[in-house]
């Protein structure tokens, strides 16, 4: 994180001239274009409001028009026109990300990918879909063929596959299949370049990484090819524990149990479960672990729960991932917008101790631990999304420092550029690719600070 990025105030990007946008739109006869200001503003937003800092910095951001190409040919016409008139283009899936990544800092055009939403192929072990295909729709189509998505965000009902690749990262299923960064996690993406004559590139294998977590800055993703998992019936359990340590130890044990097929292992510390997630059924002293495991592992799960002093709670809520990952934050923020979050990677050898050390150093009035277990590079890892009661920028910076002092690595979610989010974002190879596919830096400008 950088101190610069912590400074509040509106993002100071130069706005594209109206005349340029109008000139570009004039070349797009026959395309679906929306310039009605309220609708345009609504579709220029994402879940940036999870962060009070981004709320202040980005709330004014809006595009000049939303363009919805019907297919790749129309998309190329949009890109060529915008290239000719130097109009910024920001690609948007469902707008479910939280870093303002789909928000057009310099105005211009927001590309709605909603029509490029076809399921293109379902084969044994893999599938391919248009970037605008909603992940839940794809999962449903897979289900009929005995397959399922391996990893998806908790917003699967609205998030698109293109947005998933562009924002990258992990989610439901990562406890078995790891993150999108793993070799083989994404088979291929098809990308259209932002040039006078837009080209189509098929990135396969490790080349996928060039477009991964790029927030739409590195070409426009039009198709995605993903490996699939076999369809599995899942048990969902909300488990109560008397102490945070017991909850974490149980989750850590389960995360390491190779013979139990897992989809979700989330720890939410008290008082969040009783206050924000399950007010009718969990008291505020109870720490919970949210678990999804294969139905056939029920007996083994029950034994582990008993061994660790846990208790299965009777609370409604299916799918259970609606309470995990960023949905945990959503429930807290819906309860009171004063709650925001941090993102912290805990490292080996004992992430549980790091989480406990952080918890001991802070009070649950201000910070409530929330940890997702996943696999990363072949190892069980855990990523914290602690709920944070926001007061001031300075205090938020202090809380990040406190998490780092306890051994965590903070990925700052309160900034809107790739470089500021944390280590590993926006590296050299990506930058070179960016220059190749978007020489004028018109794709989502401002998100990659050193793009030019």
Please give the residue ranges that form the binding site for a copy of itself (CB under 8 A): 124-126, 146, 150, 176-178, 182-185, 187, 204-206, 227-228, 230, 232-233, 255-260, 294-297, 299-304, 375-380
Q: Rounded CA gap, 10 and 416, in Å?
A: 12
Whether the Cβ atoms of residue 137 and residue 122 lie closer than 8 Å to each other: no
Angle CA 199–128–111, to nearest 5: 50
Whether the Cβ atoms of residue 188 and residue 202 lie closer than 8 Å to each other: yes
Q: Which residue, 308 or 370, is less far from a copy of itself as judged by CB? A: 308
Q: Which residue, 56 or 182, is less far from a copy of itself as judged by CB? A: 182
Residue 186 CB, shortest distance to a copy of itself, in Å, is 8
Q: Which run of H or of E encompasses 292?
A: strand 287-294
Residue 380 CB, shortest distance to a copy of itself, in Å, is 5
Residue 175 CB, shortest distance to a copy of itself, in Å, is 10
Residue 126 CB, shortest distance to a copy of itself, in Å, is 5
Q: CB neighbours of 17 closer than 8 A, spacing ≥ 6?
A: none
Whether the Cβ atoms of residue 89 and residue 45 lie closer than 8 Å to each other: no
Q: Which residue, 161 or 448, is less far from a copy of itself as judged by CB? A: 161
Residue 182 CB, shortest distance to a copy of itself, in Å, is 4
Give the phi and the psi of residue 124 in degrees, each rounded to 5. Answer: -60, 115
Q: Which residue, 119 or 397, is less far from a copy of itself as judged by CB? A: 119
DSSP conformation letters of 301-370? HHHHHHHTT-EEE----SSGGGGSTHHHHHHHHHH-TTEEE--EEE-SS-HHHHHHHHHHHS-TTTEE-E
Strands 89-92 and 109-112: parallel
CB atoms within 10 A of CB 432: 11
Q: Which residue, 45 or 375, is less far from a copy of itself as judged by CB? A: 375
Residue 343 CB, shortest distance to a copy of itself, in Å, is 20
Q: Which residue, 115 or 126, is less far from a copy of itself as judged by CB? A: 126
Quote the tokens at residue 290. 């949210």
Q: Which residue, 73 or 144, is less far from a copy of itself as judged by CB? A: 144
Residue 383 CB, shortest distance to a copy of itself, in Å, is 15
């Amino acid at each position: 994180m950088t101190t610069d990025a912590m400074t509040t105030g509106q993002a100071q990007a130069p706005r594209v001239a109206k005349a340029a946008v109008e000139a570009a739109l004039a070349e797009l006869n026959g395309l679906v274009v929306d310039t009605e200001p309220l609708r345009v503003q609504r579709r220029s937003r994402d879940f940036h409001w999870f962060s009070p800092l981004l709320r202040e910095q980005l709330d004014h951001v809006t595009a000049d028009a939303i363009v919805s190409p019907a297919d790749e040919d129309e998309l190329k016409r949009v890109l060529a026109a915008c290239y000719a008139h130097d109009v910024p283009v920001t690609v948007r899936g469902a707008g479910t990300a939280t870093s303002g990544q789909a928000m057009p800092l310099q105005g211009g055009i927001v590309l709605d990918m909603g029509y490029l939403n076809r399921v293109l192929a379902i084969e044994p072990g893999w599938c391919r879909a248009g970037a605008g295909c909603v992940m839940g729709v794809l999962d449903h189509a897979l289900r009929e063929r005995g397959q399922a998505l391996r990893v998806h965000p908790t917003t699967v009902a609205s998030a698109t596959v293109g947005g998933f690749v562009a924002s990258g990262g992990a989610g439901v299923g990562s406890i078995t299949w790891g993150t999108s960064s793993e070799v083989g996690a994404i088979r291929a993406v098809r990308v259209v370049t932002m040039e006078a004559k837009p080209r189509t590139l098929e990135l396969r294998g490790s080349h996928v990484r060039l477009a991964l977590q790029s927030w739409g800055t590195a070409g426009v993703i039009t198709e995605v090819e993903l490996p699939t998992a076999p369809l599995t019936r899942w048990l969902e359990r909300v488990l109560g524990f008397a102490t945070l340590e017991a909850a974490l130890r149980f989750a850590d044990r389960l995360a390491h149990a190779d013979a139990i097929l897992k989809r979700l292992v989330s720890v939410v510390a008290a008082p969040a479960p009783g206050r924000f997630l399950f007010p009718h059924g969990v008291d505020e002293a109870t720490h919970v672990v949210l678990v999804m495991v294969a139905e056939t592992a029920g007996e083994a799960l029950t034994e582990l729960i008993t061994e660790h002093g846990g208790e299965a709670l009777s609370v409604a809520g299916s799918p259970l991932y609606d309470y995990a990952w960023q949905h945990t934050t959503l429930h807290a923020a819906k309860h009171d917008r004063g709650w925001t979050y941090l993102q912290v990677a805990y490292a080996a050898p004992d992430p549980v101790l790091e989480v406990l050390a952080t918890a001991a150093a802070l009070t649950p009035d201000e910070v409530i631990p929330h940890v997702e277990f996943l696999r990363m590079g072949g190892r069980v890892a855990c990523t914290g999304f602690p709920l944070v009661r926001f007061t001031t920028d300075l205090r938020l910076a202090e809380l990040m420092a406190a998490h780092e002092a306890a051994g965590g690595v903070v990925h700052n979610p309160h900034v809107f550029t790739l470089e500021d989010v944390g280590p590993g974002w926006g590296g050299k190879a990506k930058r070179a690719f960016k220059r190749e596919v978007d020489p004028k830096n018109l794709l989502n400008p401002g998100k990659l600070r050193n793009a030019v």
